[in-house]
Structure 1
Amino acid sequence: MAYQLKNEHLSVEIAEPGMYRGSRFDWTGFITGIILLDGNHTFCVPESLIPGQGTGGAGLCNEFGIETALGYDDIGPGGHFPKLGVGLLTRLDDRKYEFFREYPIHPFKVSVVRENEASLTFHSFPEDCNGFAASLSKRISVAGNRLEVEYHLRNTGIKELSTEEYCHNFLGIDDHFIGTDYVLRFPFELSPTADEEKTLSGLSFNRGEVRFADRPTVPFYFRLPGFDGGQYPWIWELLHEPSGAGVRELSQFPVSKAAVWGEGHVVSPEIFIKIELAPGEEKRWARSYEFFVK
């Protein structure tokens, strides 16, 4: 079963918790499909076009703690550690935590409250794990041509929560392959960095624009430094120029860092927010997306 949000501009498909069963992405509010009804433009694509490859991402799916898992280094093989939005995972061996690896899952209990045709709220209930525990709520709604995702995270444990959250936006407009027809824009001068220069092959950077010389044949990835999202009316925009269809993220919060990943069928702007919560503290933030035809 999937949930649908709809108004006169947008139709949004959201997976029921448990339809995605991986140990990486948040099970709540896993957005698998978005249609802009003006022109019936689609935006969500899978992480991989080859069944069984990748980590199961699709559309708009967020992740907590991609680099450092809460409590992972304090336990041995067979011990449990929490992955916010997912559940309690089992450490397999002495290797360091790897976000792309599959770990056994004891999923958190989740409730879904349907408010109306245009909004619903997911709530992930806390479960103590070595002093870590958190209550997570995520309200998803559509208003006009905008999609809003509102987060409320509360530290209910006795240990500090220190992590990051981002949304892995798996985007491909109308299933058009990535190439010369696309432009990815940021509202500031770009200074990209990459661990391997070859991952930037075929990409060009001019002021705030990223363009693609051809359809990429290997994955590309680069990082951008953090910035104050509140300074800009939008923080990235992806446009398919022949159709004029596009999407921009309007989120306004302090961005700890940004990155862009993609391959031949998908481009994923990733905007990170840092989370530091002492026991009893809570944090609210929101991600806002605007879908349009120029």
Structure 2
Amino acid sequence: MFELLTDELRVQVLDPVADRALTGVRYCTGGYVFQVHDERLGPLMSGPTYPDDFNWFDGQGIPDAFALAPVHGVEPHALVLGVGVCDLAARTVVDPCTWDVTQEPGMLTFRTSHAFEGVACTLERRLTLVGRVLSSTTTLRQGSDERALPVVWFPHPFFPQPADDALFRASTALRAPENDGFEVVDGTALRRRRLPEGHIGPYLELEHAADGPLRLEHRHDLLGAVAMTTTYVPGRFAVWGNHHTVSPEPFLERSLAPGEDLTWAVTYTF
């Protein structure tokens, strides 16, 4: 694994080649934050099965994914951005993308390119750590001549399940459709209705009023709170959790025209 270090934090990042056994067809393999350690308090992130065990589908830490909008070829093969050509039926990677990785003090940059079924694009993932602020910046460059590129991307941070029912407060008004797992209080705060039992927990798509970047103050038993901020206006905004973890997922949803570039970021302040 790669590491980003400050006096207070140690961020573990998967090596797309050396740590391939820890990746799969779901999460972007370049820029995958596996764990964030506070030098005094210990590990700060969780996962659906953490700390009991690990599997690539559930993951842990702060992964992110393009997997909901694969570029389909001859079934069951499809291109998953940031992963490579995959057999979606077998859930295996047939031709993993090749990342060029550059490490500088406080920064890791991952670059790759894709060409598949008329789609050509380049992808750059950049992680920076300054003090207690971790930023993940993505740039996607559409190189296709004629075909538009649909993009559905979302961060999947796995925060530890807080001891009480309060989860996070958002910078925008929220509304929760009727469900058994979560409820909105005071218009902007999400709380858990009950602690899930077992591995599978509730998933909910929240209604929101964001017309600008989103900021969340997520409860954290060791730190008090972790701030999560996007540079984009979320489309869908989902939340999932089980007895180990809770994960807010603000989606970026776009269609890139030929020759169009797009850059966005998510920042975590620990």
Band the TM-score falls in, shorter-chain normalisation: 0.7 to 0.9
Q: 1:229 to 1:65 in 2, by over 3 A?
A: farther
Task: Tell me the CA shift for residue 36 of structure 1.
Answer: 3.2
Contact 2:162–2:220 under 8 Å retained in 1:
no
The ranges of structure 1 where at least 4 consecutive aligned residues each deviate by more than 4 angstroms after the TM superposition are 49-54
Q: 1:284 to 1:244 in 2, by over 3 A?
A: closer
The match for 2:167 is 183
Per-residue CA deviation, residues 53-107 of structure 1 (Å, 9 max, x unaligned), is 67141111110142x322x2xx4435x3210000012354xxxxxxxx7134310
The match for 2:43 is 42
The match for 2:60 is 58
The match for 1:96 is none
Per-residue CA deviation, residues 137-193 of structure 1 (Å, 9 max, x unaligned), is 111011122111111111123321112111111111xxxx54416432112332123
Contact 2:215–2:228 under 8 Å retained in 1:
yes
**Matching of residues 171-210 of structure 1 within 5 Å:** 171-172=159-160, 177-180=161-164, 182-193=166-177, 197-198=179-180, 200=181, 203-207=182-186, 208-210=188-190
Q: TM-score, normalised by structure 1?
A: 0.80
- Which of residues 110, 113, 137 in structure 2 aligns to 1:125? 113
Per-residue CA deviation, residues 257-293 of structure 1 (Å, 9 max, x unaligned), is 21100100100011111232122211111111111xx
Contact 1:46–1:170 under 8 Å retained in 2:
yes
Q: 1:7 to 1:263 in 2, by over 3 A?
A: same
The match for 2:3 is 4
Q: How many Å separate the matches in 2 of 1:139 and 1:86?
A: 16
Task: Tell me the CA shift for residue 239 of structure 1.
Answer: 1.3
Q: How many Å separate the matches in 1 of 2:169 and 2:191?
A: 9
- Which of residues 218, 222, 227 in structure 2 aligns to 1:248? 227
The match for 2:79 is 82
Q: Which runs of 5+ in 2 are unaligned?
A: none
The match for 1:145 is 132
The sequence identity of aligned pairs, in percent, is 24
Q: 1:181 to 1:9 in 2, by over 3 A?
A: farther
Contact 2:158–2:247 under 8 Å retained in 1:
yes
- Which of residues 194, 201, 205 in structure 2 aligns to 1:219? 201
Q: How many Å separate the matches in 1 of 2:124 and 2:185?
A: 39
Q: How many Å separate the matches in 1 of 2:56 and 2:97?
A: 23
Per-residue CA deviation, residues 198-252 of structure 1 (Å, 9 max, x unaligned), is 4x2xx3421222223553215011112352333xxx62121135x4432111222
Partner SS, residue 63 of structure 2:
strand
Q: Which runs of 5+ in 1 are unaligned?
A: 93-100
Number of residue equivalences: 261
Opposite residue 149 of structure 2, the aligned amino acid is L
Task: Tell me the CA shift for residue 51 of structure 1.
Answer: 4.2
Greater shift, 53-62 or 260-269, is seen at: 53-62
Q: How many Å separate the matches in 1 of 2:125 and 2:195?
A: 35
Contact 1:121–1:138 under 8 Å retained in 2:
yes
The match for 2:149 is 161
- Which of residues 20, 23, 26 in structure 2 aligns to 1:21? 23
Q: How many Å separate the matches in 2 of 1:261 and 1:213?
A: 13
Contact 1:47–1:55 under 8 Å retained in 2:
no
The match for 1:95 is none
Cα RMSD for the two superposed structures: 2.3
Contact 1:225–1:256 under 8 Å retained in 2:
no
Contact 1:152–1:282 under 8 Å retained in 2:
yes
Opposite residue 201 of structure 2, the aligned amino acid is P
Q: How many Å separate the matches in 2 of 1:53 and 1:21?
A: 9
Opposite residue 275 of structure 1, the aligned amino acid is R
Contact 1:22–1:56 under 8 Å retained in 2:
no
Per-residue CA deviation, residues 7-64 of structure 1 (Å, 9 max, x unaligned), is 1332211010142331010000110111234x42532223324646671411111101
